[in-house]
Amino acid sequence: MLSTSSLIKIALILDEEEEENRKVRKRKRLWVHNILKRRNIEGEFVTLYNELLDDQIKYIKYFRMSVKEFNDILQVIKVDIQKENTTFREAISPMQKLAVCLRFLATGDSFQTIAFSYRLGHSTVHSIVHEVCKAIVNNLLATCIPVPTESDWHDIAKTFWMHWNFPNCIGALDGKHVQILAPPNSGSNYFNYKKKFSVVLLALVDANYKFIFVDIESYGKNSDGGIFANSHLGKRLDNGTLNIANPTT
């Protein structure tokens, strides 16, 4: 039979081994690839952004907007996407988050491609795009795409007549299949007539190509008529809550 002192020694040894295993697991969790460690030295944002500031044309080609527009958006959403630095890592700045999101939206590149160029993790880019898009919608949707007033509809119709010779036209409507990877357990809901998986972007624009209304939630399998009828636009047209003036000759 083992003595009490022997049992204590065994317990201490096992405790030391468990503590060492915890330290190893912790080191593994905190491990960062060397490529990502050089983000603030070799990442695309650090190496390219300041150079783009010296060339407005290239800046617009890169972000699809001007420096002023970029900064205006940043000021509006900065509070929502700002994170505090921690003991373990430095937080990604709101400016770099906006740059990552806009670059993704401007190019349609994969999260993985953006991750490599900006020296960020794949899941980090995924989170940034969702976070920034949510902040933009929450802060700017009501300002950039407000529900038109009756006066606005008159102005839109007037512009269509002046620019395109269309009388009493209050918008140009069309749909676009945006190809996606089929979500898990979604069956054939997203499978469209082109034999691809998609969600449908329904958009109404004015005579200057500016969005008046967007709807991005319909299954790819749905028909154009069904998508329009079930959209917020279709329902509000049907129940007469869009502030549209009475018909005129």
For tokens 């996606």, name the residue.
180
In-domain check, residue 6: no
Total of domains in the chain: 2
Strand partners, 51: none
- How far apart, in whole angstroms, are the C-alpha atoms of residue 220 and residue 216? 11
β-bridge mates for residue 203, sequence order: 174, 214
The domain boundary, picked from 128, 143, 158, lies at: 143
Q: Which of 141, 143, 168 is nearest to 156 (CA)?
A: 168
Q: Which residues of 68-94 are buried (b: 16+ CB within 10 A; e: fewer)?
A: eebeebbeebbeebeeeeeeeeeebeb
The range of the structural domain enclosing residue 204 comes to 149-239
What is the tens place of the pLDDT at every residue in 78-97?
Answer: 999 998 877 767 788 999 99
Residue where one domain finishes, among candidates 117, 143, 169: 143
| Pair 123, 182 in one domain | no
Alpha carbons 231 and 79: distance in angstroms, whole number: 32
106, 189: one domain: no
Q: Which two tokens stand for residue 100?
A: 């990552």
Q: For the purposes of burial, counting CB atoms within 10 Å of the CB of 221, is it exposed (0-12), middle (13-18) or buried (19 or more)?
A: middle
The answer to whether residues 57 and 139 belong to one domain is yes
- Quick one: 175 and 136 in the same domain? no
126/175 same-domain check: no
Among residues 113, 143, 173, the one where a domain terminates is: 143
- Does 195 share its domain with 157? yes
SS3 219: strand
Share the mean pLDDT of the chain.
Answer: 85
- Are residues 53 and 134 both part of a single domain? yes
- Count CB neighbours of 231 within 10 A: 22
Structural domain includes residue 28: no
pLDDT tens digits, 174-205: 999 888 888 888 888 888 888 899 999 999 99
Question: Could you read off the pLDDT of 204-237 as tens digits, one per residue?
Answer: 999 999 999 998 878 888 888 888 988 888 999 8
pTM, full prediction: 0.72
